[in-house]
Structure 1
Amino acid sequence: MNLTQQAENFIHKLFKDKLSPSYTYHNLRHTIDVVTAVAILSEIEEINPEDKEILMVAAWFHDAGYINGCDNHEECSVVIVTDFLKNNEKSSDYIAKVSGLIRSTTLGFVPTTLLEKIIKDADFYHLTSDKYTSTCNALRLELQANHQKTFSDSEWNLENINFLSNEHQYYTDYALKTWQPLKENTIKLLQIKLNNMELNNTKESKKKNKEEKPVRAIDTLFRITLNNHTSLSGIADSKANILLSVNAIIISIALSTLIPKLDNPSNAHLMIPTFIMLMSSVVTIIFAILSTRPKVTKGVFTRQDIENQKVNLLFFGNFYKMPLEEYQWAMNEMMKDKDYLYNSMIKDLYFLGVVLEKKYRLLRIAYNFFMVGIVLSVISFVVAFKMIGN
Structure 2
Amino acid sequence: MEEIILQQAATFVTDLFENKLSPKNLYHNIAHTERVLENVTKISKHENCNAHDIFLLKLAAWFHDTGYTVVEDVGHEFKSVEIIKQFFDQISISEEDKLLVEKLILVTQSNLTPKTHLEQIMKDADCAHVASNDFFDISEQLRLELIYKKEEEILELDWFLKNKQFLEKHSFYTTYAIQKLQPQKEINEYHLNQKITKLEEKRANKSANKKTGRGVETLFRVQLKNHIELSAIADTKANILLSVNAIIISVVLSNLVPKLDNESNLFLVYPTLILLTFSVISIVLSVISTRPNISNVTVTKEMIVNNRTNILFFGNFYKMNLKDFEWGIDYLISNEDTLYNSLTKDLYYLGLVLERKYRLLRITYTVFMIGIVISAISFVVSYNFFINIF
TM-score tier after normalising by the smaller chain length? 0.5 to 0.7
Q: Which residue of 2 aligns with 1:82?
A: 85
Q: Which residue of 2 aligns with 1:65?
A: 67
1:145 pairs with 125, 148, 153, which one?
148
The alpha-carbon distance between structure 1 residues 87 and 197, as it changes in their structure 2 partners (threshold 3 A), is same
Matched, 1:10 2:23: no
Q: Measure, in 2, the Cα distance between the counterparts of 1:214 and 1:65.
A: 51
The alpha-carbon distance between structure 1 residues 217 and 93, as it changes in their structure 2 partners (threshold 3 A), is closer
Q: Measure, in 1, the Cα distance between the counterparts of 2:106 and 2:46.
A: 23
The alpha-carbon distance between structure 1 residues 217 and 147, as it changes in their structure 2 partners (threshold 3 A), is closer
Matched, 1:163 2:166: yes
Matched, 1:133 2:143: no
Q: 1:336-347 alignment to 2 at 5 Å?
A: none
The alpha-carbon distance between structure 1 residues 215 and 104, as it changes in their structure 2 partners (threshold 3 A), is closer
Q: Which residue of 2 aligns with 1:248?
A: none
The alpha-carbon distance between structure 1 residues 213 and 45, as it changes in their structure 2 partners (threshold 3 A), is same
Output the amino acid matched with 2:130: L
1:181 pairs with 173, 178, 183, which one?
183
3-state DSSP of counterpart to 2:89? helix
Once the two structures are superposed, what CA deviation does each residue of 1:242-290 show, in whole Å capped at 9, x if it has no partner?
xxxxxxxxxxxxxxxxxxxxxxxxxxxxxxxxxxxxxxxxxxxxxxxxx
Q: Which residue of 1 aligns with 2:34?
A: 32
Q: 1:85, CA displacement in angstroms?
A: 2.2
Q: 1:52, CA displacement in angstroms?
A: 0.5
Output the amino acid matched with 2:78: E
Count of matched residue pairs = 226
Larger Rg: 1
Percent of aligned pairs with the same residue? 34
Q: 1:218, CA displacement in angstroms?
A: 11
Q: 1:22, CA displacement in angstroms?
A: 1.1
The alpha-carbon distance between structure 1 residues 26 and 217, as it changes in their structure 2 partners (threshold 3 A), is closer
Q: Measure, in 1, the Cα distance between the counterparts of 2:220 and 2:121.
A: 67
1:115 pairs with 115, 118, 123, which one?
118
Q: Measure, in 2, the Cα distance between the counterparts of 1:194 and 1:218.
A: 33
Q: 1:203, CA displacement in angstroms?
A: 2.3
Once the two structures are superposed, what CA deviation does each residue of 1:26-85 show, in whole Å capped at 9, x if it has no partner?
111111110010000011011111111000000000001110012311111112112212
Q: 1:147, CA displacement in angstroms?
A: 3.5
Output the amino acid matched with 1:57: L
The alpha-carbon distance between structure 1 residues 215 and 75, as it changes in their structure 2 partners (threshold 3 A), is closer
Q: Measure, in 2, the Cα distance between the counterparts of 1:35 and 1:155.
A: 30
Q: Measure, in 2, the Cα distance between the counterparts of 1:170 and 1:3.
A: 29
Structure 2 length normalisation: TM-score? 0.54
Q: Which residue of 2 aligns with 1:196?
A: 198
Q: 1:311-350 alignment to 2 at 5 Å?
A: none
Aligned Cα root-mean-square deviation (Å): 2.7
Q: 1:264-343 alignment to 2 at 5 Å?
A: none
Matched, 1:54 2:28: no
Output the amino acid matched with 2:50: N
The alpha-carbon distance between structure 1 residues 90 and 159, as it changes in their structure 2 partners (threshold 3 A), is same
The alpha-carbon distance between structure 1 residues 149 and 187, as it changes in their structure 2 partners (threshold 3 A), is farther
Q: 1:207, CA displacement in angstroms?
A: 3.3
Output the amino acid matched with 2:203: N
Q: 1:126, CA displacement in angstroms?
A: 0.8
Once the two structures are superposed, what CA deviation does each residue of 1:288-344 show, in whole Å capped at 9, x if it has no partner?
xxxxxxxxxxxxxxxxxxxxxxxxxxxxxxxxxxxxxxxxxxxxxxxxxxxxxxxxx
Aligned 8 A contact 2:104 2:122 in 1:
yes
Q: Measure, in 2, the Cα distance between the counterparts of 1:32 and 1:141.
A: 20
Aligned 8 A contact 2:210 2:216 in 1:
no
Matched, 1:94 2:113: no
Once the two structures are superposed, what CA deviation does each residue of 1:136-158 show, in whole Å capped at 9, x if it has no partner?
12212222232445422211111
Q: 1:171, CA displacement in angstroms?
A: 0.5
Q: 1:89, CA displacement in angstroms?
A: 1.6
Output the amino acid matched with 2:183: P
3-state DSSP of counterpart to 1:71? coil
Q: Measure, in 1, the Cα distance between the counterparts of 2:182 and 2:199.
A: 26
The alpha-carbon distance between structure 1 residues 65 and 151, as it changes in their structure 2 partners (threshold 3 A), is same
Output the amino acid matched with 2:41: A
The alpha-carbon distance between structure 1 residues 48 and 204, as it changes in their structure 2 partners (threshold 3 A), is same
The alpha-carbon distance between structure 1 residues 214 and 4, as it changes in their structure 2 partners (threshold 3 A), is closer
Q: Measure, in 2, the Cα distance between the counterparts of 1:213 and 1:84.
A: 66
Q: 1:164, CA displacement in angstroms?
A: 0.6
1:124 pairs with 117, 122, 127, which one?
127
Q: Which residue of 1 aligns with 2:157?
A: 154
3-state DSSP of counterpart to 1:2? helix
